[in-house]
Amino acid sequence: MKLPTWINAAASALIAAALPACDAVNLQEIKPGLSTQAEVRARMGQPGFIHWNNDGTATWEYTRQPEGMTCYMISFGLDQVVSRMEQVLTEANFARVTPGLSKDDVRRLLGAPGKKQVFDNFNEEVWEWRIEGMPPMEETYFGVHFDLSHGAVKKTSRRVQQRG
């Protein structure tokens, strides 16, 4: 039996609203130097993506895009124990996105975007992340514009949209 569309939408909204609360509880229990990959997987689920580092270690990506405003990167040492955890959608990381970076570089820095859109007339692809904004009645987005010809960052931008 298929559920009505409004029930599916309501369930999705409830799940999206609950994720930050679950993260707040689960992330407090993950301890660098102590927690293992198995413990992280049990608390956070499967990572959205695994970034392999040059030294053979891994960084797991847990994005909460497009509805959330966070992306957690949890890094592990060769012993598969957490070495570092961070919320990467920060002003410091936005400032690190500079012309010439590749899509892989940006994904590794900020995680998966909430939205990707191609603008052929500008010869660019824009990736957007929903980020913390100022007024409660607005949504703020950080954008990275890639040159379609080279696949490298051209510029960054911000967009503010009224809610509702």
Mean pLDDT score of the chain, rounded to an integer?
Answer: 89
Residue 16 has a pLDDT of 42
Residue 7 has a pLDDT of 54
Q: Which of 32, 52, 87 is the last residue of a domain?
A: 87
Is the pLDDT higher at 20 or at 99?
99
Q: What percent of the chain has pLDDT over 70?
A: 85
Q: Quick check: 70 and 23 in contact, CB under 8 A?
A: yes
Q: What pTM, to 2 d.p., does this model score?
A: 0.82
**pLDDT tens digits, one per residue of 89-147:** 999 999 999 999 999 999 999 999 999 999 999 999 999 999 988 767 789 999 999 99
Q: Which of 53, 87, 121 is the last residue of a domain?
A: 87
Looking at the predicted structure, is the pLDDT value of residue 39 above 90?
yes
Give residue 139's domain range. Answer: 91-162
Let me know whether 135 and 69 are in one domain: no
Let me know whether 83 and 95 are in one domain: no
Let me know whether 100 and 82 are in one domain: no
Return the CATH number at 117: 3.30.1450.10
Our count of domains for the chain comes to 2
